[in-house]
């Protein structure tokens, strides 16, 4: 299943390094070409001899192994690989990766790698739970690294908790999912796309909020299709009952519009494009009450303030080559309103969502859309499933991406 795939296997200093031998054996058995890179701490836990015998290649670790003036090029390694997999990844290596430290070949290779990077952390439960480790993992995820969550069980310290490196079979399974996403053209490989999805909730008091009926179905369908086409996806999801399970998708959960705005400001500059599919609350209470608001009279007035317009802000910071798409949800003057939004938010195209019939819009699995571009051209699509429409929208995004790169 991994026939001909080129994989860098990075091994760092953790007792779980012994599992890397099993992992390596599985990868090689499936036909992958594996280049092992070890840190010096990794070599304390398992010998390079074992790993070079299993991989059929010399194990690399130091920049200058031969002492004859030649050196190993991390740039070449980074370009060679289809995937870099760091398993086990120690807390130390995670911290260095998150802060640009590159004092060994594994880290310089990581910094220059063009391919997707998978990380399987392994450490003691308290090290894993420490805020610094969690922060580092969050940083790495926000840059598109795919973190293979450690399991819970008995650890080398004798303690019981979360920190065991995922089992080799399960790690290989994640690579299968990545490489063998159902017969899709990997037309967006190397692209990073941000997408907002779902509603936002704006707190009124500890038990009430202002929200809307958005289910997140359209946004999640697009996120999944993006991943199947090979893109690295940053999915900024409001409070929804949806799950998504693809190693290319980094999900960032938020609740309010201002949280969504902050995440988008952080991630959009790193992206090749963004699709703003969230139904963002336009207003939030000026101040959320700290205690539950009691019924005191017949009327209650809540003062609202405008939330940031996330799509518009992204339109303001959009750089040449980046593509920005939005949605318009209209109940009247549909096309005129959509065109006005396209312009005011500096979008490259807008997807007009019709609420005119019960089989389109919020909560249902089908939708009717019209895509309108900057030249005022429009493409109308018949009633289709949100999954099929996700594919239509991305076909269009791909065209615009190519145009904007050539512009
Ligand atoms: N949008 C956003 N941030 C907001 C409001 C909207 O990012 N605060 C985005 C939506 O994700 C969508 C587009 O802007 O891509 C249009 O959203 P829509 O709700 O249709 O329009 P609004 O700009 O909110 O205007 P109105 O509610 O007045 O129709």
pLDDT bin (cut points 50, 70, 90) of residue 382 is confident
**pLDDT tens, residue by residue, 64-77:** 665 566 566 667 78
Cα 140 to middle of ligand 1, angstroms: 30
**pLDDT tens, residue by residue, 309-320:** 999 999 999 999
192-406: CATH topology is Rossmann fold (3.40.50)
**CATH 3.40.50.1950 holds for 6-180:** yes
Cα 232 to middle of ligand 1, angstroms: 24
Domain with CATH 3.40.50.1950 in the chain: 6-180
Pocket test for ligand 1, best of 306, 329, 330 (most atoms within 8 A of CB): 329
Residue with token string 């090689």: 28
pLDDT of residue 68: 60
Residue 238, C-beta contacts closer than 8 angstroms, at least 6 positions apart: 196, 197, 198, 199, 200, 201, 214, 216, 254, 255, 260, 278, 279, 280
Catalytic (active-site) positions:
212
- What CA–CA distance (Å, rounded) separates 324 from 276? 8
Is pTM beyond 0.75 here? no
Pocket test for ligand 1, best of 311, 323, 336, 344 (most atoms within 8 A of CB): 311
| pLDDT for residue 184 is more than 60 | no
pLDDT of residue 65: 61
Do residues 48 and 23 touch, judged by C-beta distance below 8 A?
Answer: no
Cα 309 to middle of ligand 1, angstroms: 7
- What CA–CA distance (Å, rounded) separates 127 from 136? 12
**pLDDT tens, residue by residue, 302-344:** 999 999 999 999 999 999 999 999 999 888 899 999 999 999 9
Domain with CATH 3.40.50.10300 in the chain: 192-406
Ligand 1: which residues within 6 Å by Cβ?
Answer: 196, 257, 276, 278, 280, 282, 307, 309-311, 326-329, 341, 345
- What CA–CA distance (Å, rounded) separates 56 from 53? 5
């Amino acid at each position: 299943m991994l026939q001909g795939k080129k994989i860098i296997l990075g091994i760092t200093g953790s007792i779980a390094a012994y599992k890397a031998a099993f992992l390596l054996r599985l990868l090689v058995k499936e036909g992958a070409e594996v280049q092992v890179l070890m840190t010096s701490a990794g070599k304390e836990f398992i010998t390079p001899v074992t790993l070079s015998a299993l991989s059929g290649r010399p194990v690399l670790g130091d920049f200058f192994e031969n002492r004859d003036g030649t050196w190993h090029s991390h740039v070449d390694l980074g370009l060679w690989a289809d995937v870099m997999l760091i398993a086990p990844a120690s807390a130390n290596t995670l911290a260095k990766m998150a802060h640009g430290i590159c004092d060994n070949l594994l880290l310089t290779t990581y910094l220059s790698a063009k391919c997707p990077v998978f990380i399987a952390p392994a450490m003691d439960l308290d090290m894993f739970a420490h805020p610094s480790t969690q922060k580092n993992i969050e940083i790495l995820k926000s840059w598109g690294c795919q973190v293979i969550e450690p399991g819970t069980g008995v650890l080398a310290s004798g303690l019981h908790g979360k920190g065991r490196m995922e089992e080799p079979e399960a790690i290989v399974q994640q690579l299968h999912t990545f490489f063998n996403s159902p017969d899709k053209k990997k037309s967006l490989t190397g692209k990073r796309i941000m997408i907002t999805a779902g509603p936002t909730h704006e707190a009124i008091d500890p038990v009430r909020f202002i929200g809307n009926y958005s289910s997140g179905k359209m946004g999640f369908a697009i996120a999944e299709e993006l991943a199947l086409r090979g893109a690295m996806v940053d999915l900024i999801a409001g409070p929804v009952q949806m799950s998504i399970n693809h190693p290319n998708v980094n999900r960032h959960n938020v609740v309010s519009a201002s949280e969504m705005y902050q995440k988008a400001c952080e991630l959009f500059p790193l992206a090749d494009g963004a699709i703003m599919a969230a139904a963002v609350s336009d207003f939030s209470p000026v101040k959320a009450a700290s205690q539950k608001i009691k019924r005191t009279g017949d009327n209650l007035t809540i003062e609202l303030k405008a939330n940031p317009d996330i799509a518009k802000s992204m339109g303001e910071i959009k750089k040449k080559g980046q593509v920005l798409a939005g949605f318009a949800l209209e109940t009247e003057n549909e096309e005129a309103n959509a065109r006005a939004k396209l312009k005011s938010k500096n979008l490259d195209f807008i997807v007009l969502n019709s609420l005119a019939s019960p089989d389109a819009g919020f909560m249902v699995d089908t939708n009717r859309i019209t895509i309108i571009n900057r030249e005022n051209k429009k493409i109308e699509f018949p009633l289709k499933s949100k999954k099929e429409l996700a594919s239509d929208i991305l076909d269009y995004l791909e065209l615009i991406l190519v145009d904007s790169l050539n512009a």
